[in-house]
Structure 1
């Protein structure tokens, strides 16, 4: 059996690569994965899979014809806030796969926001036509219930991704604080300057070593490079391509300050305290589900001292998730694997 995997792969995004790595980890052994990627050569080399250019129509069509199953492989693929083209691309592929008679799976999806009537209509058609659907948050599940689409709700699959250690980490000072910020219109120069000053103060108060972790080089690395000179000799930028190693970094971290969803999930799953800076409803959903403290970007205080004191209080007195809670989320995430096994067995 061959399965065509479609997602935001091969674009240098650590979270989406983690979803792909987890999906490959969870696929039944008798299934051969075929991955649509923005960088098929890199994807083939990293994961040892057949891969095709996601934007090349003929190879994509040929891949569809060669496969038995089509899978939307995790993430917020169906939303029209950051891109109007994205839901049309993914929705078009799903619709084509359904018309060609493939089994179709919407796997570990976070749906929305959907603000345009046409993308909302297309999304409803896509999900209604799926063989199986799983989602990772309650808001997505509620939307599918409104549409009367059968589904399962389970934690994001990356909770269950197997972490790998980064040997070089042992050479860096402890304790450690990890920081992941991404480019966003609401992360204004003034807000970034305030966060940077607060981070400098936090470092001085805790004597922690700062790990700057870009999850997507194009969006995150320039910000990390802007912050790093303010933290000379007490910080390092780590650009890690392997999502399992990226997750493994957090085993040696006391606290993570993150904008990206999968930064927070990876950190929390490895027993790290998390403080969120939200730019998207998916971050707020995670904050609510796990009682993670944080601010929306627009609500970040203008007072640097207040930012510092909030972080310092949490660093000193905040609690990571209990090992029981983490294990419960990991066990729940394996429901996505069970769904795949059911689809591939008939």
Structure 2
């Protein structure tokens, strides 16, 4: 669609710019839903303009973190609606940074919608105040899990909050050539178990790298020795490669481990997850991709957003910091034996989650219908 033909201008702000495959899957889900239902000019506020324009079917990209507040004002003023999200972007260190554009929109009278976000940890007074002040003036709030809904209520948000689901649940697989994986050392003649690790950081403040390197190395060795499987470490973010090496360095059977180093799209990684017999992971979207492909998995929850997914899928798991090596190996063994049962549970629940994910776009279309100026139902071109 030529942007000059668009009837409504939508801005999307979040953690975008090619740093994390999960975030890019979220943006792909949002954009695909919009393109299927509305005639719109889509602007993405991103860390990397070139990456966003290359990956996604959007009309414009703005280097939001490079611009001053004064420079961002005209970009917000031109919008009919500002969308914040999705993803887990409201946490102590960065909540105020992500909310800057929301406060500008409030001052300019531009409607705002929060799109399937999650939240936490939120414990500092300044971040909780910013979240309350920003969200109590937005036109629509949707969250991707019940824990986020409860947390926003607990910090004092009084606007109605609607439970939907992660937009990445709407992603479709993109073929990943077998030759590309063979070149990375993946042996398809063995059982394959995918692993996902992540870095410590503000969204996971309680992770001790040395402890979880040893924990996951023991888990990987157990998988190799008990099931005669190779383990494949999948990086959802660039830094995951470094931490995967940290785990492999602690393994006795390091020769049976491969770390994928090439750059793949979210759709290709989704395709890859369907080739594993089993998956063990920390990253939320690694687990979402496994669920979408019907691959049995065991999660290592480090944050409420992972626990929220497990709750939606009817799966139990102990937080990473409360799991000892013996407990972890026992859980892996039980989960491996129950692969068929786990697959059935996932396939039953995932349909409902995908339906919930589609409802977020319906909330956005409803907001567009009531937005001021040129944004009427006929002009939106609702499909």
Give the aligned partner of residue 178 of structure 1: 194
Deviations along 1:100-146, one digit per CA (max 9) or x if unpaired, are 11121111011233212232122122112111111111132234556
Displacement, 1:294? 3.4
Give, in angstroms, the shift of residue 51 of structure 1: 0.9
The aligned residue for residue 196 of structure 1 is: 217
User: Does residue 1:66 correspond to 2:78, yes or no?
Assistant: yes
Instruction: Give the count of matched residue pairs.
Output: 339
Flag the 1:197–1:141 CA change in 2: closer, same or farther, 3 A: closer
Greater CA deviation, 230-239 or 154-163? 230-239
Distance 1:33 1:180 in 2: 32
Work out which of the residue numbers 217, 220, 242 in structure 2 matches 1:222.
242
CA distance in 2, matches of 1:187, 1:269: 30
Which runs of 5 or more residues in structure 2 are unaligned?
1-7, 201-205, 371-383
8 A contact 2:291–2:346 mirrored in 1: no
Match of 1:337 in 2: 361
- Find the counterpart in structure 2 of residue 118 from structure 1: 126
How far the C-alpha of 1:245 sits from its partner, in A, is: 1.7
Cα offset, 1:236, TM superposition:
4.2
> Which TM-score applies when normalising by structure 2?
0.81
Q: Contact 2:294/2:346 (CA < 8 Å) preserved in 1?
A: yes
- CA shift, 1:234, in A, is 4.9
Query: Hey, what does 2:164 align to over in structure 1?
Result: 154
For normalisation by structure 1, the TM-score amounts to: 0.90
Cα distance in 2 between the residues matched to 1:207 and 1:315: 13
> What is the CA RMSD across the aligned residues, in angstroms?
2.2
Q: 1:73 to 1:188 in 2, by over 3 A?
A: closer
Q: Secondary structure at the match of 1:97?
A: helix
Q: Does 1:107 align with 2:115?
A: yes
Quick one: distance in 1 between partners of 2:237 and 2:33?
Answer: 24
Q: Are the structure 2 counterparts of residues 203 and 233 from structure 1 closer, same or farther at C-alpha, using a change threshold of 3 Å?
A: closer
Tell me, yes or no, if the aligned pair for 1:163 and 1:247 is still in contact at 8 Å.
Answer: yes
Q: What do residues 278-317 of structure 1 show as CA deviations (whole Å, max 9, x unaligned)?
A: 22122222233323343322222144xx533431331122
CA-to-aligned-CA distance 1:221-271 (integer Å, 9 cap, x gap) = 102223446432553425444222222221222221111111111211221
**SS of match in other structure, 1:77:** strand
Q: Deviations over 1:63-106 (max 9, x none)?
A: 212221111021121121xx1xx111122210111211112111
Structure 2 match to 1:78: 90
The one of 16, 29, 47 aligned to 1:38 = 47
Q: CA 1:233/1:195 → structure 2, altered by over 3 Å: closer, same or farther?
A: closer
The secondary structure found in structure 1 opposite 2:160 is: coil
The answer on whether the counterparts of 1:178 and 1:253 sit within 8 Å (CA) in structure 2 is: yes
Shift in Å, 1:330: 1.0
Contact kept, 8 Å, 1:34 with 1:63, in 2: the verdict is no
Alpha carbons 2:112, 2:140 under 8 Å: kept: yes
Distance across 2 between alignment mates of 1:112 and 1:223? 23
> What CA distance in whole angstroms lies between the structure 1 residues aligned with 2:193 and 2:18?
26
Structure 2 partner of 1:267: 290
Name the residue aligned to 1:2.
Answer: 9
Return the offset for 1:24.
0.9
Match of 1:294 in 2: 317
**Deviation of the 1:333 alpha carbon:** 1.1
SS of 1:292's partner is coil
Partners of 1:259 and 1:279 within 8 A in 2: yes
Structure 1 unmatched ranges of 5 or more: none
43-52 or 68-77, which moves further after superposition?
A: 43-52
**2:64 corresponds to which of 49, 54, 66:** 54
